Chain A
Amino acid sequence: MEISRNTMEVAAAATTALVGAVVCYGSLENGIAWGESGPQPGYFPFCIGSLIVAGSLANIVYTLWKGAARASAVGPAGEAAGVVAAEPFIDGTRLRQLAAFFLPILAMVVISAGLGLYIGMALYIFYAMRVSVGYRTITSLLISAAVVLINFFIFETVFLVPLLKGPILEYFGIY
């Protein structure tokens, strides 16, 4: 699977345009007029939203226009004219690498939300060390335990900042 840069440009611009539209919509609730003693609360957000939409549309138009120009240039004479095919945004191998890196982080956050940050952290580090790096099970376990203990010491003991504990640690009386 490969995603071309142009596709991504358009997708990103479309997303920002959507965000802009949402901002505009949200600001309607606060009143978007310029009252007698200055702007109402929604005035600036509305302008901001509109400008996001406008800028995003300009980005889309620019990308498509450039794409069209390149397409016509990359004809039979294109190569000779020095026009190189655009580099893809991402190719299949990299996408897999990226997913292999990001999905475990996502899993950690999901687990942490339910079971607490320390458990999420421990599982994630163990997974990363065992599977991604390829350390032995015992080494990975030790690293994971060290990371958790160091964090626990710094946050809970030294600085008294409670991180999310979750039901399991609560059950064992760690708070």
Chain B
Amino acid sequence: MKNQVFRAGLLTATALAFGLTASGAALAEWKPDRPVELVVSAGPGGGSDIFTRVVQAALTKNSLVSTPLLVVNKPGGSGSEAFAYAEDNPDSPYKLYFGTQDAYVLPLTTKVTYSMKDLKPLMTMASDVFILWTNPKASGINTAQEFVEKAKAAPGKVRISGAKAKDADETLVTLIERAAGIDLAYIPYKSGSEAAIQVAGGHVEANTNNPSESLEQWKAGNQKPLCVFTSERLADKTVVADGVSWADIPTCVEAGINVKDFLQPRTVWMGANAPAEAAAYYTDLLKKVADTPEFKDYSTRNVQINKVLVGDEFNAYVAEQVKNYEKIYKDNGWLLSSGQ
């Protein structure tokens, strides 16, 4: 890494000496000739941040790129800062944007300066699943059915925590409420891990979360998975705790909460006018990353659904997701009045 840094410095120096300009180096086989920024739509330590840094680690360890990679956190305005940065640099081939569904969901609810037209979709590298968690010792809830019963008995009193407002977690909670015909008290925290600790400490009855942030608390007996929001059970059969494996967790549909396939895609974008050859280069590169042991490790640890979506497939996925979210948000009354 150190070497790379110095090599980059050297490169800059030679470029300077020969008076080369960036555009002079456009060859058929496009390659970045300067540091590439990996822009994250979240702060350090969060899910998107770790996703990006794993990609960075996989690229560095396997020497897939020769230029330095900089991870740049732009968490401002719920992550819209990152995509506004794409709007400001529409044609830069040296900037990749890492996010989740936030890229296309944010413009629906919040006043942001960018729109989907400012982003060139590259791919989804994997998708996180959501699980409904509780602390059985503190809440006395052991199954999803008990959770629904308890919520029916005390409308608006059963508390459920999640990360941020009007983001994935709160959206999911409104879906649960509608599917099960219950009324919950949603409490937003800054991050998923904070929300999980509130459940582990017994201050809140339940939370919705990606597996990784509650895994350790599950092992320690402070949290228990109730059901998973996918159409099929998870594939991972390694036993985690109490003789239960990921595959033993019932789907929420089985458990009586009819919400399926609520996923958090790990997405990558570029500026709208980035050169096509650069986009093709990065798509190839990231496909290779998805096959590295580092990324596979990360994916297994997070119990992700490993499905890479690129090109038209990804475009279709995004279009469908936007439609879904628009409908949910309309029902929730969260949509920005048109014109924004």
Within 8 Å by CB, do A and B touch in the complex?
A: yes
| A173 in contact with B20 (CB, 8 Å) | yes
Selected from A37, A158, A172, A175, the residue in CB contact (under 8 A) with B34 is A175
B14-42 Cβ-contact flags toward A at 8 Å (1 or 0): 01100111100000000000110100000
Contact: B68 with A173, CB < 8 Å?
no
Please determine whether B12 and A171 come into contact, CB atoms closer than 8 angstroms.
no
Q: Which of B38-68 contact A (CB under 8 A)?
A: 68
B244 within 8 A of A: no
Q: Cβ of B22 and Cβ of A175 under 8 Å apart?
A: yes
Name the one of A157, A158, A162, A173 contacting B21, with C-beta atoms under 8 angstroms: A173
CB of B70 within 8 A of CB of A157, answer no
Task: Enumerate chain A residues within 8 angstroms of B37, measured Cβ to Cβ.
Answer: 162
What is the minimal beta-carbon distance from B198 to any residue of chain A, in angstroms? 16
Q: Chain A contacts of B34 at CB under 8 A?
A: 175
Q: Is the CB of A173 within 8 A of B19?
A: yes
Whether a CB of chain B sits under 8 angstroms from the CB of A160 is yes
A174 at the interface (CB under 8 A from B): yes
Contacts of B15 in A (CB 8 A): 173
User: Given the interface contacts A160-B68, A160-B70, A162-B35, does A172 sit within 8 Å of B5 by beta carbon?
Assistant: no
* B16 in contact with A172 (CB, 8 Å): yes
A157 touches B19 (CB 8 A): no
CB under 8 Å from chain B, chain A span 145-160? 156-158, 160
Q: Indicate which residue in B5, B20, B22 contacts A157 across the interface (CB closer than 8 Å).
A: B5
A157 to B13, CA, bound (A): 12
* Complex Cα spacing A170 to B92, Å: 13
Known A162-B70, A171-B21: A157·B9 in contact at CB below 8 Å = yes
Residues of chain B with a CB closer than 8 A to A171's CB: 21
Chain B contact-residue range equals 10 to 19
B185 at interface (Cβ–Cβ under 8 A)? yes
Q: Which of A37, A160, A170, A173 has the most CB of B within 10 A?
A: A173
Contacts of B6 in A (CB 8 A): 157
Q: How far is the CA of A37 from the CA of B159 in the complex (A)?
A: 12
Chain B residues whose CB sits within 8 angstroms of the CB of A170 once the complex forms: 22
Interface string of B169-183 (1 = CB under 8 A from A): 000000000000000
**Please, how many angstroms separate the alpha-carbon atoms of A173 and B185 in the complex?**
55
Using CB atoms, name the residue of chain A closest to B71: A160
Residues in chain A near residue B5, CB distance under 8 A: 157-158, 160
Chain B stretch 65-102: residues in CB contact (< 8 A) with chain A: 68, 70
- Among A157, A158, A162, A174, which residue has its beta carbon within 8 angstroms of that of B16? A174
Give A158-172 as 1s and 0s: 1 = Cβ < 8 Å from B's Cβ atoms: 101010000000111
Please indicate the chain A residues that have their CB under 8 angstroms from the CB of B70 in the complex: 160, 162
Residues from chain B with Cβ under 8 Å of A156 in the complex: 9
Q: Which positions 31-63 of chain A face chain B at CB distance < 8 Å?
A: 37
- Collect the chain B residues with CB atoms within 8 Å of residue A157's CB: 5-6, 9
Q: A157-B5, A157-B9, A162-B70 are in contact. Are A173 and B35 (CB under 8 A)?
A: no
Bound-state CA distance A156–B6 (Å) is 10
> Given A37-B185, A160-B68, A160-B70, is A173 in contact with B9 using a C-beta cutoff of 8 Å?
no
Docked complex Cα distance between A171 and B19 (Å): 9
Question: 6 closest Cβ contacts across the A-B interface?
Answer: A173-B15, A157-B9, A175-B34, A160-B70, A173-B21, A173-B20
* Besides the known contacts A160-B68, A173-B20, 5 further A-B residue pairs in the complex with CB atoms under 8 A apart: A157-B9, A158-B5, A160-B5, A160-B70, A170-B22
Q: List B residues at the A interface (Cβ < 8 Å).
A: 5-6, 9, 12, 15-16, 19-22, 34-35, 37, 68, 70, 185
14 inter-chain pairs at a CB distance below 8 angstroms, sorted by A residue, are A37-B185, A156-B9, A157-B9, A158-B5, A160-B35, A160-B68, A162-B70, A172-B16, A173-B12, A173-B15, A173-B19, A173-B20, A173-B21, A174-B16
